[in-house]
Amino acid sequence: MWNIAVETIYLFLPAYIANMAPVIFKYFGLLKKLDVPIDGGTKFFGKEILGPHKTLRGVIAGVAAGMVFSFFQFALAYSAKPFSVTVSFPFQTAFGSIMWGFLLGAGAIFGDILKSFVKRRLGIAAGRRWFPWDQLDMVLGGIAFGLLMYSFSWTQVAVLVVLTPLFGLLINLVGYGLRIKEAW
């Protein structure tokens, strides 16, 4: 039982990393030139399309971080001992793992953007909490895109859907504590 949970989370780590990357890049002031809202501030029926918190920097940082991280997982799993780890990682080529990181990263970021679009339609301001969708957005997006390369079992989907909001709350609390996030 715990094995499945640990392996599923490990497999899905590139999506979590991608989801955290925008906040980390913002915190350290990286890629400042790309810190522009994706929607360009345009309105849609009088409401923001995505709002100011969805930036090009977040997209680039998220997808890139997912790709770098999954390559790292590949290297860790298939490098010579003593560096290799025993947690299973199903992608056995560098290209395959980087593709996996790309899909999970892009899926997580896309899910997050789609959620912001829905939040704005509902009149929920950027940065306001919308539990549990603020947490599930990246899970559903990551799974949807990830399915192009890997068939998640229903057990794995359940693990991700149940555990992510718990981890998400924890991460948000840290971001809130560091004054990066306006709400936890």
Q: Which residues bind ligand CTP (CB under 6 A)?
A: 22-23, 26, 51, 53-55, 57-59, 109, 112, 116, 119, 126-128, 134, 181
Instruction: For ligand CTP, give the closer residue by CB, 83 or 131.
Output: 131
Secondary structure (DSSP) of the chain = -HHHHHHHHHHHHHHHHHHHHHHHHHHTT-SGGG-SBTTTT-EETTEESS-TT-BHHHHHHHHHHHHHHHHHHHHHHHSPTTS---S-----SHHHHHHHHHHHHHHHHHHHHHHHHHHHHTTPPTT---TTHHHHHHHHHHHHHHTTT----HHHHHHHHHHHHHHHHHHHHHHHHTTS-S--
- Closest approach of ligand CTP to the CB of residue 96, in Å: 26
Instruction: For ligand CTP, give the closer residue by CB, 81 or 179.
Output: 179
- Closest approach of Mg ion to the CB of residue 134, in Å: 4
Instruction: For Mg ion, give the closer residue by CB, 48 or 134.
Output: 134
Q: Which of residues 120-139 bind Mg ion (CB under 5 A)?
A: 134
Q: Which does 146 bind (CB under 5 to 8 A by kind): Mg ion, ligand CTP, none?
A: none
Q: Using CB under 5 A, list all residues that contact Mg ion.
A: 134
